[in-house]
């Protein structure tokens, strides 16, 4: 009888021990960020924009990549815990809604239409629509100077259409399939100017093969407030905003601006304040 009592007591202790171990195991899984896997964060970027977000044989480079890496670090993730996913412009809202990514940093301009679908942290960069011209061209100093010029952008670009419709209606718009094709045309004088966001233009002009060949006209034709997109209602928004503020205050923001855009003599705007959207 005594033996049975001891055995029952031991069984009870063992059961409690196993339960505690199981609870500890579950907590550990939660901390890891995945069921039994290593902790990771998935971030959407552009794969084809030099200076902004580009996939190379050596890895991922660009201003957005550097900003996203810094933010991820403040959220508790090291570089080897980041999974990068290509976020093409037309896919960004869908990727966030489906949960394909935790956040997106991909030259993602904050607009009222997009704010209906996703939330934005930032802005973290104020860019402007501008034109890239040959380094020896001094004929384009204002949007009106684009009249009768051969203007290039990628097929379907709203930037080129904006210049043609509103700012320089006599511009000769030529649509090429890629920015690289436009740059080739600009280099051999088949076109006079390439238009899109100045940050994107600076990224291309900063490539070593184009050093000293192009320059930004500095027209600042529109305001483009780059934000970090998150799923609607996500608590990541406030955490990312805090990280962005720290990035500016500790000098890291200016360092990545200089390293990614500096070779193109990009005259960047000061770091914008969180929530300050320039129309």
What CATH architecture is 41-127+225-264?
3-Layer(aba) Sandwich (3.40)
197 with 159: CB under 8 angstroms? Answer: yes
- Could you give the residue range(s) of every CATH 3.40.190.10 domain in the chain? 41-127+225-264, 128-216
117 with 93: CB under 8 angstroms? Answer: yes
Strand, helix or coil for residue 137: coil
Among 3.40.718.10, 3.40.630.30, 3.40.30.10, 3.40.190.10, what is the CATH number of 128-216? 3.40.190.10
pTM for the predicted model, two decimal places: 0.80
Residue numbers of the chain with a pLDDT score lower than 50: 1-36
Quick one: tokens of 170? 């006599």
pLDDT at 37: 53
83 with 33: CB under 8 angstroms? Answer: no
Strands (E), the chain: 41-45, 48-49, 53-56, 59-61, 82-86, 103-104, 119-134, 150-154, 172-176, 193-197, 214-216, 223-230
pLDDT at 4: 41
């Amino acid at each position: 009888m005594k033996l049975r009592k001891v055995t029952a007591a031991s069984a009870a202790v063992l059961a409690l021990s196993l339960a505690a171990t199981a609870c500890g195991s579950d907590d550990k899984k939660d901390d890891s960020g995945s069921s039994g896997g290593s902790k990771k964060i998935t971030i959407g970027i552009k794969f084809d924009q030099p200076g902004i977000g580009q996939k190379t044989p050596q890895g991922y480079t660009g201003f957005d990549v550097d900003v996203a890496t810094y933010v991820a670090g403040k959220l508790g993730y090291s570089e080897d815990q980041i999974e990068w996913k290509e976020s093409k412009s037309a896919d960004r809202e869908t990727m966030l809604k489906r949960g394909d990514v935790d956040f997106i940093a991909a030259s993602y301009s904050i607009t009222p239409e997009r704010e209906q679908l996703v939330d934005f942290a930032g802005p973290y960069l104020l860019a402007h629509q501008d034109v890239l011209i040959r380094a020896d061209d001094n004929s384009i100093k204002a949007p009106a100077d684009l009249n009768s010029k051969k203007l290039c952008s990628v097929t379907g670009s709203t930037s080129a259409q904006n210049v043609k419709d509103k700012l320089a209606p006599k511009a000769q718009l030529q649509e090429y399939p890629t920015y690289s094709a436009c740059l080739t045309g600009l280099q051999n004088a088949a076109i006079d100017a390439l238009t899109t966001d100045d940050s994107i233009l600076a990224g291309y002009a900063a490539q070593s093969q184009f050093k000293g060949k192009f320059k930004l006209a500095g027209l600042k034709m529109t305001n483009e407030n780059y934000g970090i997109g998150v799923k609607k209602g996500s608590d990541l928004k406030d955490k990312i905003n805090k990280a962005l503020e720290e990035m500016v205050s500790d000098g890291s923001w200016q360092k990545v601006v200089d390293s990614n855009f500096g070779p193109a003599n990009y005259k960047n705007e000061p770091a914008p304040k969180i929530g300050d959207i320039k129309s």
